[in-house]
Structure 1
Amino acid sequence: MTVVDGELLHLVAREESDMFLVRQRGRQVAAVVGLDAQDQIRVATALSDLGRELVRGSVPAAVAFWTRTQPPPRSSSS
Structure 2
Amino acid sequence: MSDQKTLKMPDGTTREVEGARFHQRFSTNLINPDGTEIDLGLAYRMLLTYKNWADEQIDVLRTQLADTKAHEARCPLAQQEAGEL
Q: Bin the TM-score by the shorter chain.
A: 0.3 to 0.5
More strand by percentage: 1
Q: TM-score, normalised by structure 2?
A: 0.31
Q: TM-score, normalised by structure 1?
A: 0.34
